[in-house]
Amino acid sequence: MIYRKSFVRRYDDDGIIHYFSYRDFEGLQARPVSFRTPQDTVLRGYLYSYEPVAKPEQLVVVCHGMGGGHRSYMREIELICRQGYQVLSYDVTGCWESEGKDIRGLSESINALVSCLDFVYASAELCGRKLHIIGHSWGGFAAGNILNFRQQNICSVTVISGFASIIQFSEAGFGSPMKKIIKPVLRYERSINPRYADACWLDCMKDTSVRVLLVHSNDDKVADISTGLGYVRANIDNPNVGCLEVSGKFHNPNYTTDAVTYMQQVFGTYEAMVRDKKFKSEEEKKAFMDDKDFMRMTEQDPEVWKAIFDSMEASCPGAEKA
């Protein structure tokens, strides 16, 4: 009950926080796509690009984190498109435009990504493309594990603030007093996604020839670095797996320091006002957010993205650069 109440519910855009769309970026194109999971749930997303696409032989798949949908990552998606790539991003089961009464569990992010890649492999337009997988947080858990289940055409994997396994995340997140619920959590996850519940990055990263880059801030309070980058670094010695550790970025290491600081200020004030019952309605919450600068709050760090793009480009030698 604690686990389901904390994680397993439906996530929709409540209109309080401003999320960008392709319309906020002049010239950015978006084409809807949809595919089904093995449970016959329809997942919806979009193919994004600036036309003409400079790197038509490649495709970037972006996997979103928990609590939002893929449009929570429009600044990242737009930046990748500006680099010359086409991007496919989608809403996981139980999120935003996709079907599902809830997200089913943490392992569902892998189920959704595998379903997305199977859609790509079967698509006359997309099959044969060189693939780059990028995921943040919950999406990073899926991205880091995808090589355990699908490898065809994958050239690079980038994991931002991800956790290696459900048990690693649970042990760090629940802490010693609640470790007794970890086994029931794993039993629940195995009941919904038996193929993916026990997935761990170490199993595929220890000897992979695919280029992998792990990006994490050492003060992350959501997915502690010890559950992701630190866990891999302590257990794997593979030259194809790179690590980029930053400081002061909390759960958003790809943001600028100013963006993270501003976001902490805005949401710190907002959460204090919610706690003190300062808002009398949802409209007042929305009004509080309406005058906030979400472009500033989501500004991307060019140095971090240079490392990501360098990793992607090194994985496809000879590919045309934008």
CATH number of the domain encompassing residue 59: 3.40.50.1820
The pair of structure tokens assigned to 120 is 């790509």
Cα-Cα-Cα-Cα torsion 22, 23, 26, 27, nearest 10 degrees, comes to: 60
Helical (H) or strand (E) element with 87: strand 86-90
Give yes or no: residues 160 and 118 share one domain.
Answer: yes
Decide if 319 is inside a domain.
no
Q: Which residues share a beta bridge with 131? A: 59, 154
Give yes or no: residues 278 and 305 share one domain.
Answer: no
Decide if 90 is inside a domain.
yes
Report which residue type is found at 166: I
φ, ψ for residue 111, nearest 5 deg: -55, -40
Structural domain harbouring 214: 2-255+301-314
Give yes or no: residues 164 and 77 share one domain.
Answer: yes
Q: How big, in percent rounded to 5, are the helix, strand and coil portions of the chain?
A: 40, 20, 40
Give yes or no: residues 196 and 71 share one domain.
Answer: yes
Give yes or no: residues 173 and 49 share one domain.
Answer: yes
Looking at residue 177, its pLDDT comes to: 55
Report which residue type is found at 179: K
Give yes or no: residues 292 and 231 share one domain.
Answer: no
Looking at residue 322, its pLDDT comes to: 36
Q: Is 232 helix (H, G, I), strand (E, B) or coil?
A: helix
Decide if 321 is inside a domain.
no
Give yes or no: residues 275 and 208 share one domain.
Answer: no
Give yes or no: residues 214 and 295 share one domain.
Answer: no
What is the tally of helices (H) and strands (E) in the chain?
12, 8
DSSP code at position 180: G
Give yes or no: residues 182 and 271 share one domain.
Answer: no
Q: What is the pLDDT along the chain (322 residues), one digit of tens a residue?
A: 777 777 899 999 999 999 999 999 999 999 999 999 999 999 999 999 999 999 999 999 999 999 999 999 999 999 999 999 999 999 999 999 999 999 999 999 999 999 999 999 999 999 999 999 999 999 999 999 999 999 999 999 999 999 999 999 988 866 555 577 788 899 999 999 999 999 999 999 999 999 999 999 999 999 999 999 999 999 999 999 999 999 999 999 999 999 999 999 999 999 999 999 999 999 999 999 999 999 999 999 999 999 999 999 998 865 544 3
Q: What pTM did the predictor assign?
A: 0.95
Our measurement of the distance from residue 227's CA atom to the centroid of its chain's CA atoms, rounded to an integer in Å, reads: 16
Give yes or no: residues 138 and 284 share one domain.
Answer: no
Looking at residue 170, its pLDDT comes to: 87
Looking at residue 2, its pLDDT comes to: 73
* Inter-residue contact 62 to 79 (CB < 8 Å): no
Give yes or no: residues 294 and 308 share one domain.
Answer: no
User: How many distinct structural domains can be found in the chain?
Assistant: 2
